[in-house]
Amino acid sequence: MSLEKEIHQKEFRNDYHKAIINIMHTYTYMVTKINDLFKNYEITRQQYNVLRILRGQYPGHASIFLIRDRMVDKMSDASRIVERLRLKEFVIREYGSKDKRSVEVTITQKGLQLLDIMEIEVHKLEGLLMSLSEDEIQVLNNLLDKLRAEKVHVAKEKFVV
């Protein structure tokens, strides 16, 4: 369905404006689907992200700084997320032996098992993109990478208020 029909808007200021609204609308759609999946496992997408980061470090540990640096959602409070995961016994948190201010976080077997159980369902999320061909997915990924890499340029001749 077209963006215009979904949000009941007949026209946009220009194609750039439409693209921004389209990205925000699609983001909300995708996040809703992802959140629905994670609700079944009683974790949030941010908690899932932390568990995946820790699985990548396993059998080693990660600092809160490393976790925060690698998180998709940079606005998340990594310390609070780790504490919630610790209460669920998905991670263990230990203070550094040399520096008591540093915290080392390690995923537990229970956390690894949860990720294994979730794997099939998470792969099904890729189905949200199956209407695109492999070539289109590559183009989409390249365009999204380009958007994040570009500095904001406001050309007066392109954007008329």
**153: its two tokens:** 């340029």
**114: its two tokens:** 């949860």
21 and 92 part of one domain: no
What's the pLDDT score for residue 151?
62
Nearest to 80 by CA among 41, 46, 53: 46
For residue 70, give the CATH number of its domain. Answer: 1.10.10.10
27 and 103 part of one domain: no
14 and 61 part of one domain: no
56 and 129 part of one domain: yes
pLDDT in tens, 8-42: 888 899 999 999 999 999 999 999 999 999 999 99
Bridge partner list, 99: none
pLDDT in tens, 61-87: 999 999 999 999 888 899 999 999 999
Average pLDDT of the chain is 89
In a domain, 154, yes or no: no
In a domain, 160, yes or no: no
**75: its two tokens:** 């606005």
Look up the domain containing 123 and give its range: 43-148
* Residue 154 DSSP symbol: -
86 and 140 part of one domain: yes
In a domain, 53, yes or no: yes
Number of domains in the chain: 2
Distance CA 49, CA 12 (A): 35
What's the pLDDT score for residue 140?
95
Distance CA 23, CA 133 (A): 19
Distance CA 98, CA 120 (A): 40
